[in-house]
Structure 1
Amino acid sequence: MTFGLGEIFALSSAICWATAIILFKQSGETLSATALNLFKNTLTTFLLVPTALLMEGFHLPQLDAYQWTIVAISGFIGIALSDTWYFLALRKVGAGNTAIVSSLYSPFVIVLSVLFLNETLHWSQFFGFSMVLIGIVLVTWQRNRKNVDTPVLWQGLALAAGAVFLNAVGVVMVKRILEGDGFFWIVSLRLIGGYSGLSCFVINWPKILKCGSGVKAA
């Protein structure tokens, strides 16, 4: 097995995300999951867009309408929904348990890549996926069965697993598109798509609640 630039980026990403989980956990004590996600996306947008301008100028990648739609939907699934669920899980079961469940990310990406990108799944990868899943169940159950209510534990783990799965879905959706030119712009516009979708949901949520409360039983 070779260890190249891609592996370095993957390892660095894991280290950065582990650090971010601790910071998100602390921030989640005072902010709701949605507010925390909006703040994160706002800050990231203000940092990432200038980076795209610096690295790639004003030349946007040449994508058709279908590809831009995929980028936007990927952002909504992988950023708006996934990160919100992840922050909810942090609040329910803590950073340690949520980080353990995050180990499902690689197996999810592998399986989705096999199903939708025609990549090959080796038997050892399937075996590793099974071991990761069993390990997550055993470790989280043993660590919390005496000090966390079982319904809260499983609800938090389900939110964390769902968040990781949605994140994997979002990444696999744009995998082929990211292989072209304009990497930083595609990532930036994906983020903007997720931010816009979450903002629209937050703005319209009071109206949704109002409509729901106004429905009368027959």
Structure 2
Amino acid sequence: MTNGLGELCSILSALAWAIGVMLYRQLGATLPPLQLNFLKNALVLAMLLPAIPLLHGLSLPAFDGLQILAAVGSGLLGIGIADTLYFRALNELGAGRMGVIGNFYSPFVIVLSFAFLDERLLPVQGVGFALVSLGVWLAAWPRQGSAPRPAHVLRGFFFALLAIVLMAISIVLVKRVLEAQPLLWVTGLRMLGALVGMAAIAWLRGETAQLSPPKVGMPWRKLALAAFVGQFLAMVLWLAGYKYTQASVAAILNETASVFILLLAWAWLKEPLTRRALAGVGLTLGGVCCMLAVR
């Protein structure tokens, strides 16, 4: 594994995803989750097509059948289904509560990595995991008076938790493929699996019309920006993090996205930054330092 590169990519991925979440939250007010997910993934695939030969050349990598199946299946689960559920939950709960529920992600990845990838955390990394989780919880817990209706909470929590479980399964599924194959080729296969899977699901449910963009009022510029920063950059950096470091370490550092969302909302949207949130930011930074201390 490349010294420190995986950790850096994981943190930068969290920042890119945080920017994307703010844009997706705005886009979700006018675009249904399935339509938003399909269109932004189609844009990302269009970005990947020229990027793959530029970075990796024109020669085809030697994927075997199981590697292709793992990459495509990972995209179907982790992008096609999980992202659609994530956007639905984001509409129901808002970014703050999604940040809190996101704390479930790294424990799922750690358990799956322990079981299937034979990964172990060092004691100092365990301390870092605890600090990051507590910091994100403090920073992202929503303020009083901002609670959605109870039915929305239960429905949103179910969608969010299912999305997180599928994301964790998808990254563990593709981890070994990432270590052996070119990054953007694996990314492209995942995206192809996501798009084909979403199209098949929409066809089976008779909802193919939802995949087409609206004829008027389509916010293409904002969608393109969200797709490039919040999906293309975030996903490439996210997968690079898992390629160059342990899956459990990358998952913990990915949780800093909630803190980035909080800081961006304060800087861009002028939302208040409470003492509890500042304490959460401090704990999260301490946890990140613990994760990086072993390098």
1:211 is aligned to none
Q: CA deviation at 1:22?
A: 0.7
1:125-140 to structure 2, matched below 5 A, reads 128=129, 132=133, 136=137, 140=141
Alpha carbons of structure 1 residues 84 and 72: separation in structure 2 relative to 1, 3 Å: same
2:201 is aligned to 201
User: What's the secondary structure of 2:180's corresponding residue?
Assistant: coil
1:112-151 to structure 2, matched below 5 A, reads 112-121=112-121, 128=129, 132=133, 136=137, 140=141, 143=143, 147-151=147-151
Q: Does 1:159 align with 2:159?
A: yes
User: What's the secondary structure of 2:205's corresponding residue?
Assistant: helix
1:91 is aligned to 91
Q: CA deviation at 1:178?
A: 0.6
Higher relative contact order (CA 8 A, sep 6+): 2
2:231 is aligned to none
Alpha carbons of structure 1 residues 145 and 201: separation in structure 2 relative to 1, 3 Å: same
8 Å Cα contact 2:99/2:137 also seen in 1: no
Q: CA deviation at 1:130?
A: 11
Q: CA deviation at 1:190?
A: 1.1
- Coordinate RMSD, CA, aligned: 2.8
Q: CA deviation at 1:166?
A: 1.0
Alpha carbons of structure 1 residues 158 and 136: separation in structure 2 relative to 1, 3 Å: farther
Q: Which amino acid aligns with 2:20?
A: A
Alpha carbons of structure 1 residues 52 and 15: separation in structure 2 relative to 1, 3 Å: same
Runs of 5+ unmatched residues, structure 2:
208-295
Q: Which amino acid aligns with 2:70?
A: I
Q: Which amino acid aligns with 1:14?
A: A
2:106 is aligned to 106
Task: Provide the C-alpha distance between the structure 2 equivalents of 1:93 and 1:124, rounded to a whole number of angstroms.
Answer: 33
User: What's the secondary structure of 2:119's corresponding residue?
Assistant: coil
1:1-218 to structure 2, matched below 5 A, reads 4-121=4-121, 128=129, 132=133, 136=137, 140=141, 143=143, 147-206=147-206
Q: Which amino acid aligns with 1:8?
A: L
User: What's the secondary structure of 1:107's corresponding residue?
Assistant: helix
8 Å Cα contact 1:82/1:163 also seen in 2: yes
Runs of 5+ unmatched residues, structure 1:
208-218
Aligned residues: 205
User: What's the secondary structure of 1:179's corresponding residue?
Assistant: helix
Q: Which moved more, 1:43-52 or 1:179-188?
A: 179-188
2:265 is aligned to none
TM-score normalised according to structure 1 size: 0.82
Q: Which amino acid aligns with 1:194?
A: A
1:216 is aligned to none
User: What's the secondary structure of 2:89's corresponding residue?
Assistant: helix
8 Å Cα contact 1:111/1:121 also seen in 2: no
Percent identity between the aligned chains? 35
Q: CA deviation at 1:69?
A: 1.0
TM-score normalised according to structure 2 size: 0.62
Q: Which amino acid aligns with 2:7?
A: E
User: What's the secondary structure of 1:147's corresponding residue?
Assistant: coil
Q: Which amino acid aligns with 1:73?
A: G
Task: Provide the C-alpha distance between the structure 1 equivalents of 2:104 and 2:9, rounded to a whole number of angstroms.
Answer: 18
Q: Deviations over 1:73-118 (max 9, x none)?
A: 1110001011000000011011221133223322222111011111
